[in-house]
Structure 1
Amino acid sequence: MEAKEDASISLLHQTTNIPNDSFNLAYIIYFILGTGFLLPWNAFITAVDYFNYLYPDRSVNRIFAVVFQSVSLICLLLIVFVFRKFHAYVRINIGLGLYLVALLVVPLMDWFYIKGRSGVYEGFYVTVVVVGLSGVANALVQGGVIGSAAELPERYMQAVVSGTSASGVLVSLMRIFTKAVYPQDIHGLRNSAILYFSVAILFMFICFALYNVVSRLPVVKHHNKLRNEHSLNQEEVSSYSSIWNIIQTIKWYGLGVTLIYIVTLSIFPGSVTEDVHSTVLKDWYAILLITCYDVFDLIGKSLTAVYLLDNTNIALGACFARLLFYPLYLGCLHGPQFLRTEIPVTSLTSLLGLTTGYFASVLMILAPKMVQIQHSETAGILIVVFLILGLAIGSVLSWFWIL
């Protein structure tokens, strides 16, 4: 009895003596990590015009999406149910290394083998393999980073999810730059693709260095120690029963995240960029709509640093209310002429990004706090599973169903 009381006093002492995050360094690093682990995927899909030129008979983006999301989902499930005790520090470093390998293959293959030639389909098969390799890396890095942020105070999860939106904004700005500066021929396409992959490679090096720094910061070490002491003072339960208990605890949060991304991915970018047109903006219209979505997605995720909605019922209600985007977009595509113009469509797309960012961020921040601290990492990884499930279902719906 005395031992338990001493342990409780020790844990209370640690929770009231949390080291300062000097210069917000840990917060900034987690923001950069959130930006970094989505950049490789963004590089692949943003270079779609380059890949479409090289492989004109393939549905490049759709194939990339199916391969990337399915591989990520399978690997995340393996991490949760088979390799849960595989330390996050090792998983993340291995994942960053796999990202570097996958990203280096595309420009090296172009320089030494494809050389800008169209129809060299051996290159396509290799590219699909490295997209799958990126899916493995994504499961290791995204699951690991979000899982580790889940063990820390809420602001660090907010930093990670905001970083994921910053990744989209960065890539959108690069897309605008390359379209404005490079000629729209094979030389311009090759240069833009090299830019995307070079930035992603640079970010992977930065993420590798910063992650190995953040794991040594006092505030992170403090919470890791606190989690370990909680684990030692809790009764052991079987791995599978523990996982299912966590799922039962966070299931509504996970359902909300899944629903958010089903709605968003079934509309954006497919119908938004392919089914609306502007005689004024022409082929810039789709690029600007994507940029508006990414910017407002970042704003939404950043708003949780100012005001975090802690009412789960309201957050889940908002997730279901977002189903109204379907009739609203139908109105913009097939309704009165004034609804089909640039301002209504841009406004609705911005609102889609804002609500996606804010409510996904709220649920991802709150979910890991619903379980005991020693289960926070697993809860964080499971939330990523729900997220990728929503992305996968939404991607499939966008493929087979057009507004």
Structure 2
Amino acid sequence: MTIAIDESSRNPMRLEGKLSAIIVCWILGLGSLLAWNTMLTIGDYYYELFPKYHPSRVLTLVYQPFAIGTMAILAHKDEKLNTRKRNLAGYTLYFLGTLALLLLDLGTSGKGGLGNYIGICVIVASFGVSDALVQGGMVGDLSFMCPEFMQSFLAGLAASGALTSVLRLVTKAAFEHSSNGLRKGVILFLAISTFFEFLCIVLYAFAFPKFPIVKYYRSKAASEGSKTVAADLAAVGIKAPTQTGDDANTQVGRLSNKELFLQNIDYALDLYLIYVLTLSIFPGFLYENTGTHNLGSWYPIVLIAMYNVLDLIARYIPLIKKIELKSRKGLMVAILSRFLLIPCFYFTAKYGDQGWMIMLVSFLGLTNGYLTVCVFTAAPKGYKGPEANALGNILVLCLLLGIFSGVALGWLWLIGNSEF
């Protein structure tokens, strides 16, 4: 049995809802990292509560094993997973986690202590599970749709960092001179983040599956043997095909995860290396190794904001086709060249002023966003729905492995630091 697709709608670009779907993809990308970026952006608050526990480094190190472990399991089982339940579970867990952070702070009256720190670590671990559920699920789902959806989702990921940075600057300025102002700003900040996570649940559950262009791509993927889209199609009244006859043969002929990985090993290595470098510097180095400057307590917040804003801007640059980097060798050369930033950051932190550091952080964000979009939009091309979905999950796993490795290597910056 195959899904009937209206012949007048064979060209997906003519289907209604493309622009609306792009906007929703952006919001869903925003919600996919908003909770985690919230943790990074309120790092100044946690450094005040837990000054001896290296919160930016420790919380990132807690987050990553849960993200990687969950993602590895999901990538192995991707062809049998219910993508709808997976993504809704991820956004729901994000919502409950941000709400728990808010309630924990209110319930403890903003006190420090080991017990509260452990509670925060548990919530951060749940964010790692949510990350694997949502990022892998959404990237896999969008991999067999038009590239604009993937670009918009990735831009939304970066927008979560930019939005949290802007909100953090606003709330810090608004409450700076009031009693216990830092905590008041954080409470408002967490409330806004909780609202956005709830919005993502609603949009993914009720709006995104109903766009004609989304139904087209999911129907096409189902006709090619994809089982992951069945629940999303059922939600809009479309019955997925049963895997018999030609459809079953199509599924049997699907490339294995190992074959997909070997065919795209350079793309997988690209993403790994991008995030090894980025996370070895961001955010731990920016909080703990850049010294004291004229901006005072604003300095790390400004650095985080500049990274996030430039990361967001860079994710729209590939829309200009003339400057989109598509060459596989070109991508690898550009990514390896970024490692020259390591000595640049070291000597700037040791001898340079805050202006040079802001410029370097901006360049780090610019290259991170641009290269990430170039890799993700290039890699899934030429594969059928089930294979594109699987490849998307594999690439997200490599990205998370890069993040974990970068976070671990980031501790090397503390060598020789007397406070460590």
Tell me whether the two structures share a fold, i.e. TM-score over 0.5: yes
Kept in 2: contact 1:292–1:350 (CA 8 A): yes
Per-residue deviation, 1:185: 8.1
Could you list the runs of 5+ residues in structure 2 that have no partner in the other structure? 226-246, 416-420
* Deviation readout 1:128-166 (Å, 9 max, x if unpaired): 212111211111111111111112111111001111111
**CA shift for structure 1 position 211:** 1.1
Q: Secondary structure at the match of 2:264?
A: helix
1:91 aligned residue (86, 100, 108): 86
- Matching of residue 313 in structure 1 with residue 308 in structure 2: no
Q: Which residue of 2 aligns with 1:262?
A: 276
> Deviation of residue 183 (structure 1)?
3.3
Q: Residue 117 of structure 1 aligns with which residue?
A: 111
**C-alpha distance in 1 between matches for 2:49 and 2:211:** 46
Instruction: Mark the CA change 1:346 to 1:111 in structure 2 (over 3 Å): closer, same or farther.
Output: closer
Which stretch of structure 1 is more off in the superposition, 288-297 or 121-130?
121-130
Q: Is the 8 A contact 2:31 2:197 kept in 1?
A: yes
Q: Does the residue aligned with 2:401 lie in a helix, a strand or coil? A: helix
> How far, CA to CA, are the matches of 1:12 and 1:243 in structure 2?
33
| Number of residue pairs aligned between Structure 1 and Structure 2 | 390
- Contact kept in structure 2, 1:47 and 1:192, CA below 8 Å: no
Residue 378 of structure 1 pairs with residue 390 of structure 2: yes
The match for 1:149 among 142, 150, 155 is 142
Match of residue 209 from structure 1: 202
CA contact (8 A) 2:314 2:367 kept: yes
Against the structure 1 CA distance between its residues 235 and 47, is the aligned structure 2 distance closer, same or farther, given a 3 Å change threshold? same
Alignment map for 1:4-403 (pairs within 5 Å): 15-16=10-11, 18-22=13-17, 24-82=19-77, 84-112=79-107, 114-119=108-113, 121-183=114-176, 187-212=180-205, 213-231=207-225, 232=247, 234-237=249-252, 242-277=256-291, 279-307=293-321, 308-334=324-350, 340-401=352-413
Q: Structure 2: how far apart are the matches of 1:387 and 1:134?
A: 16
Task: Give the TM-score, by structure 1 length.
Answer: 0.89
How many Å apart are 1:329 and its aligned residue?
2.4
8 Å Cα contact 1:256/1:316 also seen in 2? yes
State whether residues 224 and 251 of structure 2, in contact with CA within 8 Å, keep that contact through their aligned partners in structure 1: no
Amino acid at match of 1:353: G
> Residues 249 and 371 of structure 1 are in contact (CA less than 8 Å); yes or no, is this contact kept in structure 2?
no
Q: 1:234 Cα shift?
A: 4.9
Distance between the aligned counterparts of 1:386 and 1:12, measured in 2? 39
Q: Is the 8 A contact 1:14 1:226 kept in 2?
A: no
Q: Give RMSD over aligned pairs.
A: 2.6
In structure 1, distance between residues paired with 2:54 and 2:294: 28
Q: 1:45 to 1:129 in 2, by over 3 A?
A: same
* Larger deviation, residues 371-380 vs 160-169: 371-380
Contact 1:158/1:301 (<8 A) preserved: yes
Identical-residue share of aligned pairs (%): 29
CA distance in 1, matches of 2:177, 2:125: 29
TM-score after normalising by structure 2: 0.85
Deviations 1:196-248 (A, max 9, x none): 22111111111111112111211011001111112227533398x71111111
Aligned 8 A contact 2:31 2:91 in 1: no
**Residues 10 and 90 (structure 1 numbering): CA distance in 2 closer, same or farther, change over 3 Å?**
closer
For residue 186 of structure 2, what is the amino acid of its counterpart? A
Q: Which moved more, 1:77-86 or 1:48-57?
A: 48-57
> Where in structure 1 are there 5+ consecutive unaligned residues?
none
